Amino acid sequence: MSRTEKLMPMSDAIDRYVADGDVLYLGGFIQQDPFAAAHEIIRQGRKDLTVSKCASLILVDQMIGAGVVSRLITSFTWNPLPAQAHCFVRALTRQVPHKIDMEEYSILALNLAYFAGALNLPYVATKTMLGSGFDWEQTDFGVKNRLKFETSPFTGERVCLVPPIKHDVGIMQVQRCDPYGNAQAWGMMGEVRYGLQSCEKLIICAEEIVDTDVITRDPNRTLVPAFRVNAVVKEPWGSHPAPMAGYYDMDWPYNAYYEKETRTEDQFQNFLEKWVYGIRDRKAYLKLIKQDRLDALIPERFDSDPVPYGKLTSHFGVPYA
């Protein structure tokens, strides 16, 4: 187990480990979106990023609108109200603020692509995309993907070959982590275990920093081990307005506010100035939300039942018979 503490401010983590042109994996499936990290990426003016996210909501929409994304790998991008993600639509239809390239896959296909990337496989064969429309001949118009359709050498059946997707750096907000990078998460997890393991570098943002003893008492919740992590950031409420299981709910009124305030390019720029450029860090962001609103998002405490693991003791000196 790594015994090097990796705690640092968000600004330092982004400055050290996210570079222009990187292929960036953003963890979180509906919940656990790393909003605080994404806002710091925008503030630091990163550009030409390839953003890879299985379920991309308004987090990705903001990064597109801020001009930091040149290529997007995803299955969908929208506001979960549901409503349009206006920056995403502007970029695809009018190239505002600039053109973005897009690779589109189904959710399962992206899971398999991350799986292939994590295990360094050349591809994963599946039937899931057959007859879906993804197997049609692709043209120079619209979104694309890198799927291939071949004949199985074993059965003669037509199969879909899903390419591996690997990332330069991955970022995810989790419930808790120790100072060394042993990160734990729970709730709706989606593809994140494979996504994180397909990254060369990892930044873990956590609601809480806990002792390693807390991690070892519940090892099945460990999403990624310390030796894979480059930076640990303590960032409470780092996923707002997305939810964090056990910590806070989805802020639905905020999503409605965002939809209304980003319908035009000028409106979106005003939004960025207020919520990203005009503040220094997440603490300042939370002051804009107001404490009573944050309090209303905190759920009633409901703990899962503990399970026994037991500490193993030496038994080699005890004779069998």
The pLDDT of residue 101 is above 90: yes
List the structure tokens of 155: 């059965």
pLDDT in tens, 131-179: 887 766 554 545 688 999 999 999 999 999 999 999 999 999 999 999 9
Indicate the SS3 state at residue 40. helix
> Measured on CA atoms in the order 97, 99, 101, 107, is the torsion positive or negative?
positive
End-to-end CA distance of the chain: 36
Question: What pLDDT shows up at residue 144?
Answer: 84
CA 25 to chain CA centroid, Å, is 6
Work out whether strand 101-104 and strand 69-74 pair parallel, antiparallel, or are unpaired: parallel
List the structure tokens of 288: 């804009």
The pLDDT of residue 76 is above 60: yes
Q: Residue 198 to residues 35, 77, 165, 275: CA-CA distances in angstroms?
A: 21, 22, 7, 31
d(CA 107, CA 86): 22
Question: What pLDDT shows up at residue 90?
Answer: 97
Question: What pLDDT shows up at residue 136?
Answer: 64
Contact status, residue 180 vs residue 1, Cβ threshold 8 Å: yes
Question: What pLDDT shows up at residue 2?
Answer: 56
User: For residues 40 and 317, which has the higher predicted lDDT (pLDDT)?
Assistant: 40
Helices within the chain (DSSP H only): 10-17, 35-43, 58-65, 86-94, 107-118, 192-197, 212-216, 252-261, 265-272, 282-289, 291-297
pLDDT in tens, 121-132: 999 999 988 888
Question: What pLDDT shows up at residue 142?
Answer: 57
The pLDDT of residue 1 is above 60: no
Q: pTM for this one?
A: 0.94
Residue pointed to by tokens 């030409």: 48
Q: What is the residue type of 105?
A: Y
Contact status, residue 87 vs residue 58, Cβ threshold 8 Å: no
Average pLDDT over residues 188-196: 96
Range with the poorest average pLDDT among 2-11, 97-106, 221-230, 303-312: 303-312
Contact status, residue 179 vs residue 5, Cβ threshold 8 Å: yes
How many Cα neighbours within 13 Å face the side chain of 1? Answer: 15
* 267 Cβ contact list (under 8 Å, min separation 6): 261
Residue pointed to by tokens 């910590």: 247
Residue ranges per domain, the chain?
A: 10-118+167-297
pLDDT in tens, 210-256: 999 999 999 999 999 999 999 999 999 999 999 999 999 999 999 99
State the average pLDDT for the chain.
94
Residue 187 falls in which region: left (phi positive, over 0), alpha (psi -120 to 50) or beta? left
Residue 309 sits at φ, ψ, to 5 deg, of -110, -45
Among candidates 245, 251, 297, 238, which has minimal Cα distance to 81?
251
pLDDT in tens, 289-317: 999 999 999 999 999 988 888 877 766 67
Among candidates 150, 155, 156, which has minimal Cα distance to 129?
150
Which residues on neighbouring strands pair with residue 7, listed in sequence order? 232
d(CA 46, CA 66): 10
Per CATH, which fold does 10-118+167-297 belong to? Glutaconate Coenzyme A-transferase (3.40.1080)
List the structure tokens of 271: 């939004």
The pLDDT of residue 95 is above 70: yes
Residue pointed to by tokens 């873990």: 204
d(CA 177, CA 205): 8
Question: What pLDDT shows up at residue 141?
Answer: 47
